[in-house]
Amino acid sequence: MNKSIKDNIRVAIQGFSGSFHEKAAQHYFNETLSFVYCNTFSEVVKASEDSELSDGGLMAIENSIAGTILPNYQLLRNSALSIVGEVYLQIGQQLMALPGQTISDIKEIHSHHMAIKQCEEFLKKHPNIKLVETEDTALSAKKIKNEHLKGVAAIAGEQAAKIYDLEIIAPNIETVKNNFTRFLVINPEQRDNHEANKASLLFSLVHEPKSLSDVLITIGEYDFNISKIQSFPIIEQEWSYYFVVDIEFDEIKELYNLIEELKHKTSSLRLLGSYKKGITI
Residues binding a second copy (CB under 8 A): 64-71, 88, 90, 113, 133, 178, 180, 182, 209-210, 212-217, 219-236, 239, 280
Nearest approach, Cβ of 84 to a second copy (angstroms)?
20
- For residues 173 and 119, the answer to whether their CB atoms sit within 8 Å is yes
Nearest approach, Cβ of 270 to a second copy (angstroms)?
19
In the complex with a second copy, the residue whose CB is nearer, 120 or 195, is 120
Q: What is the dihedral of CA 259, 264, 266, 269, to 10 degrees?
A: 40
In the complex with a second copy, the residue whose CB is nearer, 5 or 235, is 235
In the complex with a second copy, the residue whose CB is nearer, 2 or 257, is 257
Nearest approach, Cβ of 179 to a second copy (angstroms)?
9
In the complex with a second copy, the residue whose CB is nearer, 55 or 174, is 174
Q: How far apart are CA 150 and CA 201, in angstroms?
A: 50
Nearest approach, Cβ of 276 to a second copy (angstroms)?
16
Q: How far apart are CA 64 and CA 236, in angstroms?
A: 29
User: Is 236 strand, coil or helix?
Assistant: coil
User: Is 152 strand, coil or helix?
Assistant: strand
Q: Residue 168 pairs with which residues in a beta bridge?
A: 96
- For residues 2 and 51, the answer to whether their CB atoms sit within 8 Å is yes
In the complex with a second copy, the residue whose CB is nearer, 169 or 205, is 205
User: According to the 3-state scheme, what is the secondary structure of 173-210?
Assistant: CCCCCCCEEEEEEEECCCCCCCCCCEEEEEEECCCCCC
Q: What is the DSSP string of 102-126?
A: -GGG--EEEEEHHHHHHTHHHHHT-
In the complex with a second copy, the residue whose CB is nearer, 208 or 260, is 208
Nearest approach, Cβ of 230 to a second copy (angstroms)?
5
Nearest approach, Cβ of 108 to a second copy (angstroms)?
18
